[in-house]
C-alpha cells in the first residue's frame, strides 16, 4: 500500500496532499499540496537545472488557454500596500524562465495533475480565477508527472496529447470527473489502496474520455506515443523543475513568480494574489 495516497485522500477536504508525511501544516483553507521530489526550499530563489534551462530558454510550445466564458475583467491598477510579501506569500523565480505557452500576454499558469486530489479541490477556484483575468492576461496549464504510482505520467501525456489535438479545454472538467467521480481513470482500487501498476488506467482509457469531445481514439493513441509528445513531456518536466515547483497545484505568473494556495493563505487569497501579480507585472514593478 502507498501511504502517500492515503494522506492525499485524507486531506482532500482541505485541498491538500503531500509526499512528505510531516508536511500537513494547514493554512486558513488549504493544507500543503502534493510535493515534487528534490524541490528547493520555497523561500530560496530557484535556479534552473542545466536540463531545465536548456528546455525553458527556447520559444515556448503552443498551449491552448481556457478562455473565460464572460468578457475579460478590467485590469486593476497596481497598488503595493504591503499585503503580499515576496518570500512568504509568493516566490520569485530566478532566473526568470520561459512561459508555458507562446502568449504575448501575462501568463497565469497552473501546474497540476488530474490525479491530484488537491488540484481537483482547487479546480473550481482555478475556473474562478480564469474568469477574472483581465484582457492583458492569459491562462495556461502545465501537467505534472512526479507521482507515477498515482498514474500522473499517463495523465500528463493524455493532457498534452489532447492539447495537441485541440480538445484539452473542452474536456478539462470531464477529466477530473473521470478520475474522481466516475472513477474510470482512477488510480485507486478502493478507498484505502492503490491499483497495482499493471492495472492502472491506460492512454487508451483516456482516449475514450476525449473521444466524447471529438478526438478519434486511434489517432489519440498514435499521437500520444509520438516523438512530438515525448518532447512535450520532457519540456513539461523540465519547466516544472526550472520554476522550482514543489507542490501541486502551483500558480506561476509569467515565468517569474510562483505561489500556492497555502502560501497565499487560502483559495480566495490565491485568486487575489494571482490578479495582484498580473497587475504588478503589467506595471513593470
Cell, residue 49: 537545472
pTM of the model: 0.79
* 35-282 homologous superfamily: Glutaredoxin (3.40.30.10)
For 161-215, the pLDDT digits (tens) are: 999 999 999 999 999 999 999 999 999 998 889 999 999 999 999 999 999 999 9
Distance CA 80, CA 85 (A): 10
223 vs 47, more confident: 223
Cell, residue 222: 498514435
Helix (H, G, I), strand (E, B) or coil at 253: strand
Query: For the chain, what are the domain ranges?
Result: 35-282
Q: Taking a C-beta distance cutoff of 8 angstroms, is the pair 145, 233 a contact? A: yes
Mean pLDDT of 66-77: 58
Give the distance between the most distant pair of CA atoms in the chain: 54
Answer whether residue 26 shows pLDDT above 50: no
Distance CA 93, CA 99 (A): 12
- DSSP lists the bridge partners of residue 108 as 139, 253
Predicted local distance difference test score (pLDDT) of residue 35: 66
For 88-97, the pLDDT digits (tens) are: 999 999 999 9
Distance CA 222, CA 280 (A): 43
Distance CA 35, CA 38 (A): 9
Please give the helix or strand (H or E) that residue 275 lies within, else none.
helix 267-282
Q: Taking a C-beta distance cutoff of 8 angstroms, is the pair 161, 213 a contact? A: no
Predicted local distance difference test score (pLDDT) of residue 8: 47
Phi, psi of 252 (to 5 degrees): -120, 125
Answer whether residue 30 shows pLDDT above 60: no
Write the CB contacts of 152 (distance below 8 Å, at least 6 apart in sequence).
113, 115, 116, 143, 144, 145, 146
Amino acid at each position: 500500500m502507498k501511504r502517500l495516497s492515503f494522506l492525499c485522500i485524507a486531506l482532500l477536504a482541505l485541498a491538500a496532499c503531500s509526499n512528505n508525511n510531516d508536511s500537513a501544516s494547514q493554512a486558513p483553507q488549504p493544507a500543503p499540496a502534493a510535493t515534487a521530489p528534490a524541490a528547493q526550499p520555497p523561500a530560496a530563489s530557484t535556479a534552473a537545472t542545466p536540463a531545465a534551462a536548456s528546455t525553458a530558454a527556447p520559444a515556448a510550445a503552443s498551449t491552448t488557454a481556457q478562455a473565460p466564458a464572460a468578457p475579460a475583467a478590467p485590469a486593476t491598477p497596481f497598488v503595493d500596500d504591503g499585503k503580499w510579501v515576496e518570500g512568504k506569500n509568493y516566490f520569485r523565480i530566478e532566473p526568470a524562465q520561459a512561459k508555458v505557452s507562446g502568449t504575448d500576454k501575462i501568463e497565469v499558469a497552473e501546474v497540476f495533475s488530474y490525479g491530484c486530489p488537491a488540484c481537483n479541490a482547487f479546480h473550481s477556484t482555478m475556473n474562478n480565477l480564469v474568469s477574472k483575468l483581465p484582457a492583458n492576461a492569459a491562462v495556461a496549464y502545465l501537467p505534472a508527472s512526479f507521482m507515477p504510482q498515482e498514474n500522473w505520467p499517463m495523465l500528463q501525456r493524455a493532457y498534452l496529447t489532447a492539447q495537441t489535438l485541440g480538445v484539452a479545454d473542452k474536456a478539462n472538467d470531464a477529466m477530473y470527473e473521470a478520475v474522481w467521480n466516475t472513477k474510470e481513470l482512477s488510480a485507486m482500487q478502493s478507498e484505502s489502496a492503490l491499483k497495482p501498476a499493471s492495472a492502472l488506467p491506460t492512454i487508451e482509457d483516456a482516449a475514450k474520455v476525449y473521444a466524447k469531445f471529438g478526438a478519434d481514439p486511434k489517432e489519440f493513441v498514435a499521437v500520444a506515443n509520438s516523438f512530438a509528445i515525448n518532447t512535450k513531456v520532457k519540456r513539461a518536466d523540465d519547466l516544472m523543475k526550472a520554476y522550482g515547483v514543489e507542490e501541486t497545484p502551483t500558480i506561476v505568473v509569467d515565468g517569474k513568480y510562483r505561489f500556492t494556495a497555502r502560501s497565499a493563505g487560502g483559495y480566495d487569497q490565491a485568486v487575489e494574489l494571482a490578479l495582484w501579480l498580473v497587475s504588478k507585472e503589467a506595471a513593470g514593478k
